[in-house]
């Protein structure tokens, strides 16, 4: 997991104009922040022209203007101030983000189902859905016999539920072959291990239960209506004619 805290200072932002902005990143690969790095980059349009990297410890310029500024700032108070930022800004803020965002992660509920049966003209389609999770960043992918699937996958964006929770759906098109194992894998901050859901064949247990309940209801309905009809036939009096005189 890479943690990135980014502060964007945009000085002017216009679709048809120039864009001068400064991005401050705090990057660490672990929660103990042992390899924490502070990167401060100034851009003109999309080109970075000067950067401070806390591991390097001074400014480095990439254009003529950047090199001149780097020379000047590395001799002045700018570089001293910048060296303190890794503690003042990054080490102070990242734990706050940890406790307010990552520690509040909510695990997704995952559903794997058949969207479309295979036919002679279409492959089958499976859908793997993750519901009710937080934070939004999530990684959903598929395994076929343990190997990651690279093609035939279409995923939606993370979609807002409007209540701080998110959902996402990933579709896999495949032609079923017997004995093959298909799994949906979800990686999310709420779980240290990837969550793996195996596809149980063309019917899942819940599909099977629905079919059993549906078929039982149908048979019961036929029995009851037949019994009712027979009862009606037996008890209803025959028609009598009333003769008028």
Ligand X SMILES: *[C@@H]1O[C@H](CO)[C@@H](O)[C@H](O)[C@H]1NC(C)=O
Kindly state whether residue 155 participates in binding ligand X, applying the rule CB under 6 A. no
Query: Of 3 and 185, which CB lies nearer to ligand X in the complex structure?
Result: 3
CB 158 within 8 A of CB 132: no
- Residue 39 CB, nearest approach to ligand X (Å): 5
CB of 23 to ligand X, least distance (A): 11
CA distances 208 to 181, 214, 244, Å, are 19, 10, 63
Residues 6+ away with beta carbon under 8 Å from 29: 1, 2, 3, 35
Give whichever of 55 and 99 is closer to ligand X, judged by the CB atom. Answer: 55
Q: Least distance to ligand X from the beta carbon of 55, Å?
A: 4
Cα(66)–Cα(57) distance, integer angstroms: 16
Cis peptide before 135 (omega within 30 of 0): yes
The Cα 98–Cα 107 span in angstroms is: 16
Nearer to ligand X, 86 or 185 (CB): 86
Applying CB under 6 A, among 39, 42, 110, 138 the residue interacting with ligand X is 39
Nearer to ligand X, 55 or 202 (CB): 55
Q: Write out the binding residues for ligand X, residues 48-107 only, by CB under 6 A.
A: 53, 55-56
Cβ neighbours around 210 below 10 Å, total: 12
223 binds ligand X (CB under 6 A): no
How many CB atoms sit inside 10 A of residue 40's CB?
20
- The CB-of-189 to ligand X minimum distance in angstroms stands at 23
User: Where in 117-136 is the site for ligand X (CB under 6 A)?
Assistant: none
**CB of 9 or CB of 220, closer to ligand X:** 9
Least Cβ distance, residue 27 to ligand X (angstroms):
7
Phi and psi for 97 in degrees, rounded to 5?
-65, -40
| Shortest CB 50 distance to ligand X, Å | 12
Q: Which residue number, 39 or 182, has a Cβ lying nearer to ligand X?
A: 39
Judge contact between 197 and 112, C-beta under 8 A: yes
Instruction: Report the length, in residues, of the chain.
Output: 245
Contact residues for ligand X (CB under 6 A)? Answer: 39, 53, 55-56
């Amino acid at each position: 997991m890479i943690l990135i805290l980014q502060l964007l200072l945009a000085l002017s932002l216009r679709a048809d104009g120039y864009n001068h902005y400064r991005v401050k990143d705090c990057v660490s690969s672990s929660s103990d922040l042992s390899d924490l790095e502070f990167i401060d980059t100034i851009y003109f349009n999309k080109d970075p022209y000067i950067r401070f990297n806390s591991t390097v410890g001074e400014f480095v310029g990439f254009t003529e203007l950047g090199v001149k500024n780097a020379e000047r700032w590395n001799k002045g108070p700018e570089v001293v101030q910048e060296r303190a930022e890794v503690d003042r800004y990054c080490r102070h803020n990242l734990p706050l983000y940890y406790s307010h965002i990552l520690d509040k992660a909510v695990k997704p509920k995952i559903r794997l189902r058949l969207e479309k049966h295979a036919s002679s003209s279409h492959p089958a389609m499976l859908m793997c859905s993750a519901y009710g999770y937080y934070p939004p960043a999530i990684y959903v992918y598929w395994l076929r016999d343990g190997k990651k699937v690279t093609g035939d996958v279409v995923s939606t964006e993370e979609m807002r539920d409007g209540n701080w929770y998110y959902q996402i759906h990933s579709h896999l098109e495949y032609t079923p072959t017997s004995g093959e194992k298909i799994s949906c894998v979800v990686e999310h901050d709420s779980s240290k291990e990837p969550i793996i859901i195996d596809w149980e064949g063309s019917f899942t247990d819940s599909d099977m239960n629905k079919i059993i309940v549906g078929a039982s209801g149908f048979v019961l309905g036929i029995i009851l209506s037949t019994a009712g009809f027979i009862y009606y036939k037996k008890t209803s009096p025959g028609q009598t004619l009333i003769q008028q005189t």
